[in-house]
Structure 1
Amino acid sequence: MMDIQGEVKQLVEEIKRLGDVGPDGKVSVKFVKLIDDERCGNIFEAIIGTLKAARKNKVIDFEGEFLLKGVHDDVEIKVL
C-alpha cells in the first residue's frame, strides 16, 4: 500500500532541494527540473500522481489541470 502523505512530504523536500525562493518567500521549481531529476525518478513511482495528491491537499500549486513532459516543462510548481 502506498503512503501518499509520506510521498507528498518527500515531494516537498525534493522541490525545496531543487527549487529557488521567489519574491513571495515561497519555494518553486520548474516541472522539467523536477521530472528530469534522477533522484526524483528513483524515489517516485508515479510523480504525476504525487503532484496531484499534493495539490489536492493544498501543499503545492501549479497552473493548469495536469502536467505533461515537454508541453508543461516551464510550469512552476510552488510549495504553499
Structure 2
Amino acid sequence: MMTTMNVEHEVGLLVEEIRRLGTRNADGQVSVKFGVLFADEKCANLFEALVGTLKAAKRRKIITYQGELLLQGVHDDVDIMLLQD
C-alpha cells in the first residue's frame, strides 16, 4: 500500500510531466492526451502505476479527465487537464 506522502510526491511529479508534455489552451489551461503521457519514456520510468496516480490526482482535484478509468489504446485521445497552475 502506498503511503500518502508517496502519493503526494507522485502527483507532484505527474503535474510536472503534464506541464512538460502538454499544451496550453486558449483559457490558459495545460492539457495532454493520455496516449502522449502513457507513451512517454520518462513517464514510463517515473510512474509504476500511471493510471493510479492519475486517479489520485483527479480525486484531489489537481487534474480532470472524462471517465473513471483510462486504458491504453482505448483512451489515448482523452485530454488530461491541469486544474491548478
1:60 equivalent among 63, 76, 81? 63
- 4+ aligned runs moved over 4 Å, structure 1: none
- Give 3-state SS (helix, strand or coil) of 2:81's partner: strand
Residue equivalent to 1:26: 29
Residue equivalent to 1:43: 46
Residue equivalent to 1:10: 13
Query: What is the aligned-residue RMSD (CA, Å)?
Result: 0.8
Q: Which runs of 5+ in 2 are unaligned?
A: none
State the identity as a percent. 57
- Give 3-state SS (helix, strand or coil) of 1:7's partner: helix
Task: Give the Å deviation of 1:50.
Answer: 0.1
**TM-score, reference length from structure 2:** 0.91
Per-residue CA deviation, residues 1-21 of structure 1 (Å, 9 max, x unaligned), is 550000000000000000000
Per-residue CA deviation, residues 51-73 of structure 1 (Å, 9 max, x unaligned), is 00000000000001110011101
